[in-house]
Amino acid sequence: MKRVIVVHGMKRSGNHAIINWLKVHDHFIFYNDIIQIAPILTGKKETPPPRDFTSWFKKKRLPRRIRFAFFLKKFILRKYSLIASLEDHDLQIKPFSNVPCDITNILIIRDPINLFSSRIRKASLIKHPAYAMNTDSEKDRVLKLWKSHAREFVGFTNQLENKVCIYFDAWFSSRNYREQISQKLNLEFIDKGFSMVSKKGGGSSFDKIRFNGNNKMMDVLNRQACLKKSEQQLLENILADDELQELAHMITETA
C-alpha cells in the first residue's frame, strides 16, 4: 500500500464531498466512519484503542472492483492508497498503530454558521445522538468539538502529525484553493470529482443528492437563510460564543 490518509471532521463539514474529490486523484480504497460515534455517545460502546493496521485491514472487505484481483495477486495493492474517515471525534483519537506506510492526517473544518445550520436541519430529519442538540450537554459537546478542531486548524494545538488542513468553504468556492490542497498532498490536480454529491449520510441536509453533478447549484455557503424560525434561534444560541467567533475569523484569515 502506498500510503494511508485519515480524514478528521465533524459531521456535515463537507467530508464526503472532499473525499469524493480526492478519490479521483489516485487509486484509493475508502472506508467510511471507521469508529462510529453514535454507540459511544449512547454509552453502548467505549472509544477503542488504536488498532494494529495490518490486522484491521485484513478483516475489511475489499471493494468489488479489486476483490478478485486481490486473491490472484496481492501485490496489486501496492498501487493503492487508503482513505479512512473519522466523524465527530476528538483529535486525540488515534485509529491505527503500526501503520506500515506513510500516513497523512486531513482535518476538514467548515464555517460554524453553515456547519451548525446543516446539523440543526439534519436533526429534524433523522434521529441520531450526534445531531440531537436539544440538551445543554450535547450543545456543549459539539461547540467544544468545533473549537478544538478550529484550534488545531489555526495552529494553537498540534495533535495531528503530518497534517493537511482544509477549510471546506474555501475548497467549495475556489479552484485555486483546491489546486493548493492537491499540491500539499502530492497529488496531480484533477477536479473531476468536485461536482459529485455523495450518497453517504443521505447527501445534503437540505438538498439530499438532487444536485449531484452540479453542486454549484447548492447554496452551501448560505445555509442559515434556509432555516425555520425555531432553528434560527437554536443556531443563534450556539453561535453566541466569543471564542467561536474569534476562531472563525482566524480560520478565514488563515485559509
Inform me whether the pLDDT recorded for 199 exceeds 90. no
Question: Which of the listed CATH numbers 3.30.410, 3.40.630, 1.10.10, 3.40.50 matches domain 3-254?
Answer: 3.40.50
Average pLDDT of every residue of the chain: 85
Which pLDDT score is estimated for 75?
Answer: 59
Give the tens place of pLDDT for each residue, 51-62. Answer: 999 999 988 877
What does 147-193 look like in DSSP terms, one character per residue?
HHHHHHHHTS---SSSEEEEEHHHHHH-HHHHHHHHHHTT-----GG
Give the tens place of pLDDT for each residue, 128-160. Answer: 899 877 678 888 999 999 999 999 999 999 999
Return the half-sphere exposure (C-beta side, CA atoms, 13 A cut-off) of residue 204. 21
Domain assignments of the chain as residue spans, ordered by start = 3-254
- At residue 219 the predicted structure's pLDDT band, cuts being 50, 70 and 90, is low
Share of the chain above pLDDT 90, in %: 60
Q: Is 99 helix (H, G, I), strand (E, B) or coil?
A: coil
